[in-house]
Amino acid sequence: MNKVAWGIIGVGNVCEVKSAPAMYKLENSTLEIVMRRDANKAKDYAQRHNIQNWTTDADEVINHPNVNAVYIATPPKYHKAYALKVAAAGKACYIEKPMAITHQECLEITKAFHNKNLPLFIAYYRTCLPNFLKVKELIQQNTIGTILHINLNLTKPLDTINADYASKNWRVNPKIAGDGYFYDLGSHQLNILEFLFGDIATVQGIAKNQANIYQSNDVVTANILFKNNIIANCFWAFNTGISQKKDQLIIHGTQGSIELACFNDSSILITDKNNNTIHYDIPYPEHVQMPIINSINKDILNNTQHTYSTGKIGMKTNYWLEQISGLVG
């Protein structure tokens, strides 16, 4: 194999800028075919991105003779069924996060790829972004001493108070996406916490649907104990007012703190024990998934496993999502 030839199932919004362009811009990588159930939208995407082939049939992507890696960019409800077909076809797979609706589904997916010794990756791409890599470097260099505890806060306003909101936004439909924005956004954060601080030992979680606008929980809190005795206190709320919007990760050490956002490339702020501050401004790449896709391409071509966000790691993230939310599958 001298190049990774991608096919995409579900060319929606995430494929416009974040992910898919990397597949045809990177060296030794091509995008052969894209799929969407809406023929007009599939054709339009292919034409705008200069992709030769498009289809409304996922099986055409999976079984395309030139394709050796499939990107599943659909809502989580469909991940398992498509992933098992990709494994049966003997091809590498990259799945949007969260890996599936339930941990049990993740187990089944992981087993299928393990049994065939096939590469499997999940789109927890923040582990390859330069700002998080910088934070990991700062931690490893003991810049703020021994890490003690972490505060994570993510709050955002309700998108709408319309009664039929759930029918129009699949992300808050438990049958399609799991537990709402906590699964959609919190999954990224749980994954990055383990990337930065190591394996989680145990969690205590509370999840409630306070606004009752949709079926998913809109407030989630968790106390997390890592195996190295670091403690994290995490709070997610998706029912707040505009003025309460917050995206904050604070890492407390014996010699200072590090503060950054999880979902934008605002400055990394280091405060030392004497209250002196240092700022690092590290912009996101144009295509935020390009670094992880580049890493995946190298692993596929070289038969290696350097990419952090493998199927086993994605499966573990789903496990902690369930333990915190109480939606154990």
CATH code, domain with 303: 3.40.50.720
Secondary structure class of 305 (helix, strand, coil): coil
Which pLDDT does position 166 carry in this prediction?
A: 59
What is the Cα 82 distance to its own chain's centre? 18
Give the alpha-carbon dihedral of 270, 138, 182, 172, to 10 degrees: 90
CATH number at residue 135: 3.30.360.10
Q: What is the model's pTM?
A: 0.95
* Residue 313 in domain: no
Q: How many domains does the chain have?
A: 2
Do residue 276 and residue 292 come from a single domain? Answer: no
Tell me if 93 is assigned to some domain: yes
User: Does 103 map to a domain?
Assistant: yes
Residues 78 and 209 in one domain: no
Pairing verdict, β 92-95 and 120-122: parallel
Distance CA 234, CA 223 (A): 6
pLDDT value for 328: 63
Query: What is the pLDDT at residue 180?
Result: 92
Considering the domain architecture, whether residues 141 and 179 belong to the same structural domain is answered as yes
The answer to whether residue 324 sits within a structural domain is: no
Q: How much is the pLDDT for 162? A: 54
116 and 138 housed in the same domain:
no
Residues 272 and 140 in one domain: yes
Question: Do 116 and 51 have their domain in common?
Answer: yes
Q: Provide the residue range defining the domain that includes 164.
A: 130-283
Range 221-258 burial, b when 16+ CB lie within 10 A, else e: ebebebeeebebebebbbbbeeeeeebebbbbbeebbb
| pLDDT of 107 | 98
Task: Report CA dihedral (320, 323, 327, 329) to the nearest 10 degrees.
Answer: 70
Q: Report the amino acid identity of residue 95.
A: I
Name residues of the chain where pLDDT drops below 50: none
Judgement on whether residues 267 and 299 belong to the same structural domain of the protein: no
State residue 169's pLDDT score: 87
